[in-house]
């Protein structure tokens, strides 16, 4: 089973072209995603947080910034010579101290290690809303990841986001 919950937001070509001329408003993806992630999450995950239950990521989610919104999720069980659980929850939040700057991050179940992890995925500057940032970030992540995803459920999920 896979699911994607991205909302259908529309960004007009005119709107994007208008902002290209003004360097202050130019929409662009940022390369320093890890640094921005560290600005958002200044502290490590506390030891008392239970990250070992594959059916409960909510304790870790409660540590998200108050403005973080969940924008999509992926949930599948993959079968091969063994089976493993794949769960990813995607979030978008603003970056503190930076105007019109948003970070896409995920909370992923790592079936090999048996724990939840929080990962930076990509960042953008110059967008005016969470809706716009969410859509552009998730599409960028999917486009960058789809070639290495293979033919299974994860690849299908990413293809669905790109189309």
> Using one digit for the tens of pLDDT, what is the confidence trace for 100-121?
999 999 999 998 899 999 999 9
The pLDDT value given to residue 1: 37
The pLDDT value given to residue 10: 40
Element (H, E) at 154: helix 153-162
4 — phi, psi (to 5°)? -130, 130
pLDDT above 70 for 6: no
The pLDDT value given to residue 9: 38
pLDDT above 80 for 11: no
Q: Where are the beta strands (DSSP E) in 36-153?
A: 69-79, 83-94, 101-110, 115-125
Distance between start and end Cα atoms, the chain = 19
Q: Are 74 and 154 in contact (CB under 8 A)?
A: yes
Q: Please give the Cα distance from 107 to 62 (Å, whole number).
A: 11
Tell me the percentage of the chain whose pLDDT exceeds 90: 64
pLDDT digits (tens, 9 = 90+) for 107-158: 999 988 999 999 999 999 999 899 999 999 999 999 999 999 888 899 999 9
Please give the mean pLDDT across all residues of the chain.
Answer: 86
Q: What is the token pair recorded at 84?
A: 């493993």
Q: Please give the Cα distance from 124 to 19 (Å, whole number).
A: 14
* Residues ≥6 apart with Cβ < 8 Å to 55: none
pLDDT digits (tens, 9 = 90+) for 56-82: 999 999 999 999 999 999 999 888 778
0.75 cut: is pTM over it? Answer: yes
């Amino acid at each position: 089973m896979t699911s994607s919950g991205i909302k259908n937001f529309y960004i007009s070509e005119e709107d994007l072209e208008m902002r290209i001329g003004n360097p202050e408003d130019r929409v662009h993806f940022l390369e320093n995603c890890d640094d921005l992630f560290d600005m958002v999450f200044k502290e490590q995950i506390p030891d008392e947080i239970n990250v070992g239950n594959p059916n409960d990521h909510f304790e870790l989610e409660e540590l998200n910034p108050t403005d973080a919104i969940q924008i999509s999720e992926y949930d599948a069980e993959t079968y091969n010579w063994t089976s493993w659980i794949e769960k990813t929850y995607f979030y978008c939040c603003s970056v503190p101290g930076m105007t019109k700057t948003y970070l896409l991050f995920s909370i992923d179940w790592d079936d090999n290690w048996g724990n939840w992890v929080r990962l930076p995925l990509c960042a953008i500057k110059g967008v005016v809303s969470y809706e716009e940032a969410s859509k552009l970030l998730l599409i960028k992540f999917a486009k960058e990841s789809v070639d290495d995803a293979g033919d299974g459920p994860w690849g299908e999920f990413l293809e669905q986001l790109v189309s």
